[in-house]
């Protein structure tokens, strides 16, 4: 694992196997799950897809078929030595069984009509060994050789669950005998240092009549063609340069999985998924994060494509956009991320026709929600205002939010996000010169802010040590701390250093796990929802200019995932935890890790372009460099490199292909030696720059700059 180079990625807090990866082509309906155990690989799939599921239903294709692969040497079962992605980033599996005498590498990838699993078997010594690879369907199936001992083919056919001539799996290698009716046995005799290769193939929909043709195919070429489809995606996207190769691998792995977690819906539109099994259904939160990441790479069409279905979810009669007839029904915060995306996407594209379309969606929802809020403006019998006065009516919380023991309640995060939605609508109305709508929205915002802030402050929880924190429900400590910091960022309802901001962050980070992540951010009592550490906390720290605290979440988040750069939704905090909830390959963590790694390197902060504000300090050790190539920003495409070429010398180069001008650019020189200072010793400018507290600023009008710094 990159042992000869710097890395802080170690997966020390990975949850217990199985570790899952979904292999498919980009946005394909045919998906195959690969679960890696300590001694075997399990492959599972469904014949259904989202075209057969009602749009928006919280229900995905059910797994139907299961195929298990084990390996033996001289009759002894082998344990897996390692599992990772192909090239440590592609959505393809590399699993290795290993002992002192034999290495067996399995490479698996998905193509348009089949999934391909190549086996490379090597004898590592000069003695003859017997190697067996044993593939078996979980349920009753029959091998063609079991049916007919003279069959030319080693193929497993369906017995029930489909037509009996359907091929479930076949092998390019024909054994002398089989262990069971439903197995694909491969028995190899390897002389000293001999190597042999063969394939297991899972056709997506082929019959026994196709076997002659299938056996004769060049499967090496097919495998490489499938992998090249993914390699080409990288060529179209921004490039991140990260000195820790495994963090760079994590970024690209998560980037690929945006495309894995997409497929066509029953309405023919593209749906984004929150997971690859339990949550393999249309979702309207996680895919929006992925769409923002695609905007970062300038992939605007790909970003828009998954949002088209979300745009269609608005209720025609009322204008409500809280997924009334879909999974996210009655969740007050659920429209927030998509409204944020509308603003972000416009700031990249400056497409006013698009913004007008988005504004109309937001405006209808705001107006509906404003009217709904009037229902809660009811005074107590004594004439006082209840803590819920003027809030949205009771709705679903999700994220572990509970009103006592009720799944429905008056949730503060939903109202915070609703205020944010109005702020975006107001901004869009100003951008579009819709003066009458702007005045109307200003009234809605003032009313919502007054009620929400009053509820937050009066319903805050006061601890015995004097700190106050924002609960999920005003005045109650029930449920999780999910989205408690949204009022700091991105919604910006309170100042980052407000007493509630201080108290809430202290409350959330008071009980960190051994691996450095906050507990109780979701459903599990004492558990971890890894994604929310970045999504909710790290960005709040950036808003407070607490950049070390933000950067310090990157490695714990990665190390709580699997070596496949996949994460379960929630888990208990101990290493190898077997207490896991939600989807085994959830998409919130990879999507937000994508976004945060990019933002740590380059982020638009209002009208300022900030470089390296939240990169780990160890990325500026001697002879390390980081930067971006072709990074898309609101202001244009940016290239920059920060290179510590010697112990005390840092070189910096920057260029921008500008569309709009930032007020200034800030470079954060986050060296590990916090006590040392940095000075400019050479620069390509004569004016328009400054250096204070190891933060180098220059005027936003500057398109290119080269600087040498010295560390003292």
Is the distance from CB of 211 to CB of 147 less than 8 angstroms?
no
47: tokens are: 């014949």
Cα–Cα distance, 202 to 214 (Å, whole number) = 11
For residue 61, give both structure tokens: 């294709």
Q: What is the pLDDT of residue 29?
A: 97
Q: Is the pLDDT of residue 2 over 90?
A: no
Identify the structural domains of the chain with CATH numbers, from first to last: 19-232 (2.70.98), 608-711 (2.60.40)
pLDDT score at 654: 98
Give alpha helix (H) positions in 115-218.
Answer: 144-147, 211-215
pLDDT, tens only, 578-627: 999 999 999 999 999 999 999 999 999 999 999 999 999 999 999 999 99
Which tens digits make up the pLDDT trace of 235-259? 888 999 999 999 999 999 999 999 9
- Torsions phi, psi for 580 (to 5 deg): -130, 135
pLDDT digits (tens, 9 = 90+) for 674-691: 999 999 999 999 999 999
| Cα-trace Rg, the chain | 28
Over residues 422-437, mean pLDDT: 98
β-strands 195-203, 239-241 pairing: unpaired
Residue 51: which of 29, 31, 67, 81 has the closest Cα?
29
What number of H helices and E strands is found in the chain? 16, 34
User: What's residue 4's pLDDT?
Assistant: 46
pLDDT at position 314 = 95
pLDDT tens-digit map of 441-491: 999 999 999 999 999 999 999 999 999 999 999 999 999 999 999 999 999
Which pLDDT does position 88 carry in this prediction?
Answer: 98
On whether the CB atoms of residues 203 and 210 are closer than 8 A, the answer is: yes
Chain centre distance of CA 298: 18
Taking residues 197-225, what's their average pLDDT? 97
pLDDT at 176: 84
Question: In this predicted model, what pLDDT tens digit does every residue of 153-183 receive, in sequence order?
Answer: 999 999 989 999 999 999 999 988 898 999 9
What is the torsional sign of CA 247, 274, 62, 396? positive
Q: What is the distance of C-alpha 264 from the center of its chain?
A: 19
Give the model's confidence band at 119: pLDDT under 50 very low, under 70 low, under 90 confident, else very high. Answer: very high
What average pLDDT does the segment 13-40 reach? 98
Q: Residue for token digits 């044993």?
A: 134
Q: Give the rounded percent of residues in the chain with a pLDDT score beyond 90.
A: 96
Q: Average pLDDT, whole number, for the chain?
A: 96
> Has residue 297 got a pLDDT over 50?
yes
pLDDT for 309-356, tens place per residue?
999 999 999 999 999 999 899 999 999 999 999 999 999 999 999 999
Q: What pLDDT score does 251 carry?
A: 98
Question: Is the per-residue pLDDT at 1 higher than 70?
Answer: no
pLDDT at residue 344, rounded to an integer: 98
* Model confidence, pTM: 0.96
Task: Tell me: pLDDT of 3 over 60.
Answer: no
């Amino acid at each position: 694992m990159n042992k000869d180079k710097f890395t802080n990625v170690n997966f020390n807090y990975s949850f217990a196997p199985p570790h899952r990866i979904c292999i498919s082509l980009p946005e394909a309906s045919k998906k195959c799950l690969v679960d890696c155990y300590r001694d075997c690989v399990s492959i599972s799939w469904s014949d259904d897809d989202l075209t057969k599921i009602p749009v928006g239903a919280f229900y995905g294709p059910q797994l139907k078929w299961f195929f298990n692969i084990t390996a033996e040497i001289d009759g002894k079962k082998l344990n897996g030595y390692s599992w990772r992605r192909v090239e440590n980033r592609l959505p393809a599996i590399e699993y290795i069984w290993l002992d002192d005498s034999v290495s067996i590498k399995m490479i698996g990838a998905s193509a348009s009509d089949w999934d391909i699993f190549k086996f490379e078997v090597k004898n590592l010594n000069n003695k003859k060994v017997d190697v067996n690879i044993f593939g078996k369907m979980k349920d009753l199936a029959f091998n063609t050789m079991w049916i007919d001992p003279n069959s030319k083919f080693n193929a497993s056919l369906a017995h029930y669950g489909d037509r009996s001539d359907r091929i479930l799996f076949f092998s390019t290698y024909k054994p002398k005998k089989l262990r069971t009716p439903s197995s694909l046995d491969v028995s190899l005799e390897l002389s000293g240092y001999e190597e042999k290769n063969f394939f297991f193939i899972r056709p997506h929909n082929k019959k026994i009549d196709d076997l002659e043709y299938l056996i004769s195919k060049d499967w090496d070429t097919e495998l490489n063609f499938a992998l090249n489809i993914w390699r080409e995606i990288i060529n179209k996207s921004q490039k991140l340069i990260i000195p820790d190769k495994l963090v760079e691998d994590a970024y690209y792995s998560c980037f690929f999985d945006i495309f894995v977690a997409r497929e066509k819906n029953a309405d023919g539109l593209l749906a984004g998924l929150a997971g690859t099994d339990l949550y393999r259904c249309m979702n309207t939160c996680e895919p929006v994060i992925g769409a923002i990441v695609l905007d970062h790479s300038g992939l605007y069409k790909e970003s828009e494509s998954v949002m088209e279905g979300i745009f269609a979810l608005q209720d025609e009669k009322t204008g409500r956009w809280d997924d009334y007839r879909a999974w996210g029904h009655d969740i007050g915060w659920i429209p927030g991320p998509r409204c944020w995306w509308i603003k972000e996407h416009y700031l990249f594209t400056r497409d006013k026709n698009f913004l007008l379309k988005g504004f109309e969606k937001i405006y209808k929802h705001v107006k509906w929600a404003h009217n709904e809020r009037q229902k809660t403006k009811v005074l107590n019998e004594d004439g006082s205002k209840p803590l819920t006065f003027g809030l949205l009516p009771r709705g679903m919380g999700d994220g572990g939010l509970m009103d006592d023991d009720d799944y429905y309640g008056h949730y503060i995060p939903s109202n915070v996000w609703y205020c944010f939605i109005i702020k975006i609508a107001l901004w869009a109305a100003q951008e579009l010169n819709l003066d009458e709508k702007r005045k109307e929205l200003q009234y809605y915002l003032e009313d919502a802010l007054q009620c929400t802030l009053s509820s937050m402050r009066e319903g805050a929880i006061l601890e015995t040590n004097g700190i106050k924190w924002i609960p999920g429900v005003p005045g109650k400590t029930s449920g999780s701390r999910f989205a408690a910091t949204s009022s700091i960022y991105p919604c910006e309802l309170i100042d980052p250093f407000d007493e509630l901001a201080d108290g809430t962050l202290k409350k959330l980070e008071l009980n960190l796990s051994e691996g450095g992540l906050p507990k109780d951010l979701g459903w599990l009592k004492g558990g971890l929802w890894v994604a929310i550490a970045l999504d909710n906390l790290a960005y709040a720290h950036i808003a407070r200019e607490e950049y070390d605290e933000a950067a310090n979440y990157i490695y714990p988040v990665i190390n709580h995932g699997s070596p496949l750069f996949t994460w379960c939704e929630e888990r208990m905090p101990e290493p190898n935890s077997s207490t896991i909830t939600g989807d085994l390959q959830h998409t919130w963590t990879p999507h937000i890790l994508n976004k945060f790694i990019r933002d740590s390197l380059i982020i638009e902060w209002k009208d300022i372009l900030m470089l390296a504000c939240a990169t780990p300090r160890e990325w500026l050790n001697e002879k390390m460099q980081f930067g971006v190539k072709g990074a898309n920003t609101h202001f244009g495409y940016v290239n920059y490199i920060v290179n510590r070429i010697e112990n005390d010398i840092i070189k910096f180069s920057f260029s921008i292909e500008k569309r709009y001008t930032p007020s200034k650019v800030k470079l954060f020189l986050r060296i590990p030696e916090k006590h040392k200072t940095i000075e400019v010793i050479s620069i390509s400018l004569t004016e328009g720059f400054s250096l204070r507290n190891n933060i180098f600023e220059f005027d936003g009008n500057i398109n290119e700059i080269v600087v040498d710094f010295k560390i003292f």
